[in-house]
Structure 1
Amino acid sequence: MNLLLQDLHPYPFERLRQLLAGTQPNPALAPISLGIGEPKHATPAFILQAYAQALQDPATGLAAYPATAGTPALREAFARWLQQRYGVAVDALTQTLPVNGSREALFAFAQAVVDASAGDAVVVCPNPFYQIYEGAAILAGATPFYANSDPARNFAVDWDSVPESIWQRTRLLYVCSPGNPTGAVMPLEEWRKLFALSDAHGFVIASDECYSEIYFRYDAPLGGLQAAQQLGRTDFRNLVTFTSLSKRSNVPGMRSGFVAGDAAILQKFLLYRTYHGCAMAPPVQAASVAAWGDEAHVQHNRDLYRQKFAQVTPVLAEVMDVSLPDAGFYLWAGIPAHWGQDDTRFAQQLHAQYNVTVLPGSYLARQTPAGNPGAGRVRMALVASTEECLEAARRIARFIRQSA
């Protein structure tokens, strides 16, 4: 077996399962889970119809092997969406590739990009973070380095905390904007800083943007390709962005997304993916073309989240350190002072007494010399109906007031 597998950390949801395994939740209350970020809004009917029609068509059904690069129609749909959403022009056939959801691609990308032959490769990622970044780094033979987020700056990552000696060894940098779990969006000046570091040290930037279409202010979040274009980097050198239909279009089970950016890197990534066997099923490609071509359902989805967060956030803000994020569907909430930093005990007792599941923030971060930036916080995924989320918020408020 690959000995690097033993260096992987348990996944946050496995740790949560173990934490709650010994508790008996209050049977008088129906369970409500805010733990997993799995979209629950209805999948638009036109996407399901496109999938069903393609499944019945011999040309787009399951009777032939699909190309790893996807159909020209699919990649042209990616390019049209990037132009419409960000005002960014890309060559559909050299600067985009389909992927089976951003998670799969974020992991595979490190395996293709990181050269660990020298034995000192580093992958830098935010802290707290999406654990796929860490696992991808470890299995690529690199050492993860965790750059802590700063609560005083709306949880923006403190890239200045990364030593020069680390940047010199960095092969890959993961960024996530809007961030998971904090919802923070990277401004243009932050991109300028990272591009300068990439130019100085030659590392690749992987920009995870799967939450880009769920936002609460009227200015859509800045994207990595958009930032590069505004700064004159129209070749998108050393930059690849990752996006997905899962959150945007409520199709997490379809496993559909795409990557876009530096053509030279994507040429090599396509070679890797051809050997890896990562082709997207033809019916999924057809349904994806339909999804990327429609914005009405995206606006409706965004409105549902806006209404939900507008009702839930004030209830929780009365008892927790929490506010509306820039984007995404998570609330990143600080637990009350009388709980100290014990977010795991908070989550365990909330589950036992009120049958509400939240994810301890410390499970989403790693200990650093400056501490664990997730300690004392919990992540709440507001993916269920407004009624369920509001009921969960009221239970949490009662739990906190009774525990004071």
Structure 2
Amino acid sequence: MTFPERFSNLPDYAFPRLRKLLDVHEPGGDPIAMTIGEPRHAFPDWIGDMIAENLSGFGKYPENDGKLSLLTAQADWLARRYGVSLAPDRNILALNGTREGLYNACMALCPERKNGQQPIVLTPNPFYQVYAVAALSVGAEAVYLPATAETGELPDFTAIDPAILDRTAIAYICSPANPQGAVASEAYWETLITLAEQHDFKIFADECYCEIYRDAPPPGALQVAHRLGADPERVMVFHSLSKRSNLPGLRSGFCAGGPESIARMKQLRAYSGSPLPMPLQAVAERVWADEDHVVENRDLYRAKYEIADQIFADVSGYAGPEAGFFLWLPVPDGEAATLKLWRETGVRVLPGAYLAREVDGVTPGHDRIRVAMVAEQQEMRRGLMTLRRALYDV
């Protein structure tokens, strides 16, 4: 199958779909954007000065894999956060945002055949859309695993047919989960890693929301894999400054994993990658080393959790997120609710089905809307109160 044929039935990305749904209608009030997960809290105020101090770096080609001091700062952060010790030059690759890494890891590491058959890439459903496109790009079969209230909002890997697991090359998993805010426990990671060892597949752990949480820090996949003594190539983790530090435009992330996996990703990066400019690498190095602004940011989100819990406390089916900054609200029909909100109030949210695929006639998230709690508190409270009156107080 050619590349265009693979993508011929691919639905539009979530936000173009949303624009087609809403933009032919006038908003019913002052627009309040609660769709995209673009943090709007303040980032550290010294960042501008750092860019200015390193302006000369724009006159040089960036170091392709990330300069050693940046990789060391990222390794030091992993050691502080998860107690995992990694070699910066062998176990970490700096990324231009995690989406690049989540895609290219599949390109670099998915085999053409697994046990003599077409490989399978497992993905949660709903999910971050790059997982499925990566699977299509390498000619793998994407298998969508329901991540619903019945499964604890995370995929139940133990329910998969062993024959499917034997064909599996890669399993994507997001914890804390987008959009549900569920957190994989240490026991959950143990089960998944054990299955991956038994059936010889890799785990790509998307952990970009790991620093926004209510109570205890979410455990990490590498943390558990190291404790279990798993194959060093078994788990690849992906992290970003976008949510942790309110810097989505900096495009600084990294992946960490076994030296063979990282070497193969570096080889692909040498031909097709998009490294971070040197002044921005200098900024990222300092941001990864600073925790004060992260604690302040987390406190702001904890206050938002409390606001949401107060507003939706008596709404049937409401469950506040364990982590991350999305609400995953129950409605009879997500697309109809989204259109109603926009036309009657100007509040803009995302239908849950736009983040999912239909499997056996069922689309997880069709009865949900995703609401991003990224605006400042007063605007967020106004948006949530307006949403509640329009959808639940009827």
* TMscore range, shorter length: over 0.9
Q: How does 1:13-52 map to 2 (within 5 A)?
A: 13-26=15-28, 29-52=29-52
State how far apart, in whole Å, the 1-side matches of 2:79 and 2:45 are: 25
The 3 A distance-change label for structure 1 pair 164 and 370 is farther
Q: Which of 373, 379, 386 is 2:364 aligned to?
A: 373
Deviation at 1:186, TM superposition (A): 0.8
Deviation at 1:155, TM superposition (A): 1.1
**Paired position in structure 2 for 1:213:** 211
State how far apart, in whole Å, the 2-side matches of 1:320 and 1:284 are: 46
Supply the AA of the counterpart residue of 1:73: S
SS of the residue corresponding to residue 252 of structure 1 reads coil
Supply the AA of the counterpart residue of 1:351: W
Q: Which of 140, 144, 147 is 2:142 aligned to?
A: 144
Q: How does 1:61-76 map to 2 (within 5 A)?
A: 61-76=57-72
Q: Answer yes or no: is the 8 Å Cα contact 1:88–1:229 preserved in 2.
A: yes
Percent identity of the aligned residues? 38
State how far apart, in whole Å, the 1-side matches of 2:46 and 2:220 are: 27
Deviation at 1:401, TM superposition (A): 4.3
Q: How many residues align?
A: 390
Supply the AA of the counterpart residue of 2:258: D
Q: Say whether 1:110 aligns with 2:106.
A: yes
Q: Answer yes or no: is the 8 Å Cα contact 2:212–2:324 preserved in 1.
A: yes
State how far apart, in whole Å, the 2-side matches of 1:53 and 1:31 are: 39
Supply the AA of the counterpart residue of 2:139: G
CA RMSD of aligned residues (A): 1.6
Q: Which stretch of the first structure deviates more once superposed, 123-132 or 159-168?
A: 159-168
Q: How does 1:319-338 map to 2 (within 5 A)?
A: 319=315, 321-335=317-331
Deviation at 1:38, TM superposition (A): 0.6
SS of the residue corresponding to residue 393 of structure 1 reads helix
SS of the residue corresponding to residue 331 of structure 1 reads strand
Deviation at 1:317, TM superposition (A): 3.2
Q: Say whether 1:307 aligns with 2:307.
A: no
State how far apart, in whole Å, the 1-side matches of 2:343 and 2:158 are: 41
Q: Which of 312, 316, 319 is 2:312 aligned to?
A: 316
State how far apart, in whole Å, the 1-side matches of 2:269 and 2:278 are: 17
Q: Which stretch of the first structure deviates more once superposed, 392-401 or 355-364?
A: 392-401
Deviation at 1:196, TM superposition (A): 1.9
State how far apart, in whole Å, the 2-side matches of 1:270 and 1:204 are: 18
Q: Which stretch of the first structure deviates more once superposed, 164-173 or 121-130?
A: 164-173
**Paired position in structure 2 for 1:385:** 376
SS of the residue corresponding to residue 378 of structure 1 reads strand
**Paired position in structure 1 for 2:54:** 54
Deviations 1:90-126 (A, max 9, x none): 1111011100000111111111111235661110011
State how far apart, in whole Å, the 1-side matches of 2:315 and 2:153 are: 20
Q: Answer yes or no: is the 8 Å Cα contact 1:7–1:138 preserved in 2.
A: no
**Paired position in structure 1 for 2:166:** 168
TM-score computed with the length of structure 1 as normaliser: 0.93
State how far apart, in whole Å, the 1-side matches of 2:69 and 2:392 are: 56
Supply the AA of the counterpart residue of 1:202: D
SS of the residue corresponding to residue 172 of structure 1 reads strand
Deviation at 1:141, TM superposition (A): 1.0
What 5-or-longer segments of structure 1 have no aligned partner? none
Q: Which of 341, 352, 357 is 2:348 aligned to?
A: 357
SS of the residue corresponding to residue 138 of structure 1 reads helix
**Paired position in structure 2 for 1:125:** 123
Supply the AA of the counterpart residue of 2:388: A
Q: Which stretch of the first structure deviates more once superposed, 151-160 or 164-173?
A: 151-160
Deviations 1:224-271 (A, max 9, x none): 1111122233x5332110000000111101100011111111111111
TM-score computed with the length of structure 2 as normaliser: 0.95
The 3 A distance-change label for structure 1 pair 282 and 229 is same
SS of the residue corresponding to residue 195 of structure 2 reads helix
**Paired position in structure 1 for 2:3:** 2
What 5-or-longer segments of structure 2 have no aligned partner? none
SS of the residue corresponding to residue 62 of structure 2 reads coil
Q: Answer yes or no: is the 8 Å Cα contact 1:174–1:207 preserved in 2.
A: yes
Deviation at 1:181, TM superposition (A): 0.4
